[in-house]
Structure 1
Amino acid sequence: MTPFENRVKKTLRFVSETLEPGSIILDLGIPNKLGSELKAQGYEVNNTSGEDLDIDQSKLEEKFDAVTAFEILEHTLNPFGILKAIKSDRLFVSIPLRLWFSSAYRSESDPLDRHFHEFEDWQFDWLLEKTGWEIVRSEKWKSPVKKLGFRPILRMFTNRYYIVEARRATR
């Protein structure tokens, strides 16, 4: 199983543990493999259209049963504004964690495929709290790669991904 397939499997399990099939989801980002898998499990998945969520947050003003944001907030300049703008009461979000032994991800070939943020778990928890979310549960996992080297060895022992289920805090 590839690291990506492992992430998809873990994410699907995490979501399906508490979100009922048939729920209507707004998935931040364009249609993707994870959204297709959620649809196959009986969820209705709507996506944003590739708009820059730092600038255009109009889609977030609609209410859905849940909003999902899987490895997308690290690509934005203003995750605070995005999280604050979500009108739905339920959120499933995952992020890559900051690794002390590796700099932030930056694709050399795609100028949009870059991480502006890589959080530590406590930083992300604080961001959620400051934007009006209460964490219901969370989980971390490793993402080992089948390569030789010092960093691949460290990835076997270091959590790389963090996923959270949150609910809108009572006002």
Structure 2
Amino acid sequence: MYENTYPNKRFKHTLKFLQKHISTSESILDLGVKNPFSEIMTAEGYQIENTTGEDLDNNRTAIENSSTEVVTAFEIFEHLLSPYEVLKSIQANKIVISVPLNLWFASAYRSKTDMRDRHYHEFEDWQLDWLLEKTGWIIKDREKWTNPINKIGIRPLLRQFTPRYYIVYAEKAINSKS
């Protein structure tokens, strides 16, 4: 449907997973500034608001004051020093999170020109699972997928079958305290 507006496989997979778990009637707080994927979500009928680019490690006001039913965080947690504190401050009862997985054959991403565009964490799946469980979330579904690139070499070959992205749908535990 939006074939030309999806920049890559990641957006298609993320949208399919989101549609599997979240209804368009549920309000969403999307962590991060408005971006191509939040525009896709809006075009698909989701009611979303974005955070405004504030440093979520230091300022979680938007999260704490949000009355949305769902929080989404697509490739955000790897940029945070303390995703634990962000997860604890979420008031919504549902979350959908995707993160890039740590690849043993490639170092963590780090922009040389933009200090904010760096990965402090690149998770292994069990690390994100543990973080969610420790902050009062129950994982209901999860998936991984690869991100092949059309280049020649050992690393591009490894990307053909090594999962690069991990997405999780979780709900807040009933006895979880904010």
> Normalising to structure 2: TM-score of the pair?
0.93
Q: C-alpha separation between the residues in 2 aligned to 1:101 and 1:7? A: 20
Q: After superposition, give the CA deviation of every residue in 1:100-130 in whole Å (9 maximum; x if it has no partner).
A: 1111111122121100001100011000000
Q: C-alpha separation between the residues in 1 aligned to 2:138 and 2:76? A: 20
1:47 corresponds to which residue?
50
The size of the alignment, in residue pairs, is 171
1:151 corresponds to which residue?
155
The structure 2 residue matched to 1:31, chosen from 31, 34, 37, is 34
Q: C-alpha separation between the residues in 2 aligned to 1:31 and 1:58? A: 18
The CA deviation at 1:74 is 0.2
2:121 corresponds to which residue?
117
2:79 corresponds to which residue?
75
Indicate the SS of the match to 2:112.
coil
Indicate the SS of the match to 1:148.
coil
Taking the TM superposition and a 5 Å limit, the aligned residue runs for 1:98-137 are 98-137=102-141
Q: Once superposed, what is the RMSD of the aligned Cα atoms?
A: 1.4
Q: C-alpha separation between the residues in 1 aligned to 2:8 and 2:101? A: 18
**Is 2:141–2:169's contact at 8 Å kept on the other side of the alignment?**
yes
The CA deviation at 1:147 is 1.1
The CA deviation at 1:21 is 1.3
- The one-letter code of the counterpart of 1:39 is T
1:21 aligned to 2:24? yes
The CA deviation at 1:4 is 4.5
Q: After superposition, give the CA deviation of every residue in 1:71-101 in whole Å (9 maximum; x if it has no partner).
A: 0000010000001110100000000000011
1:86 corresponds to which residue?
90
Q: Identity over aligned residues, as a percent? A: 50
- The one-letter code of the counterpart of 1:120 is E
Q: Give ranges in structure 2 of 5+ residues lacking alignment.
A: none
1:161 corresponds to which residue?
165
Q: C-alpha separation between the residues in 2 aligned to 1:84 and 1:57? A: 10
- Give 4+ residue runs of structure 1 displaced > 2 Å after superposition: 1-4
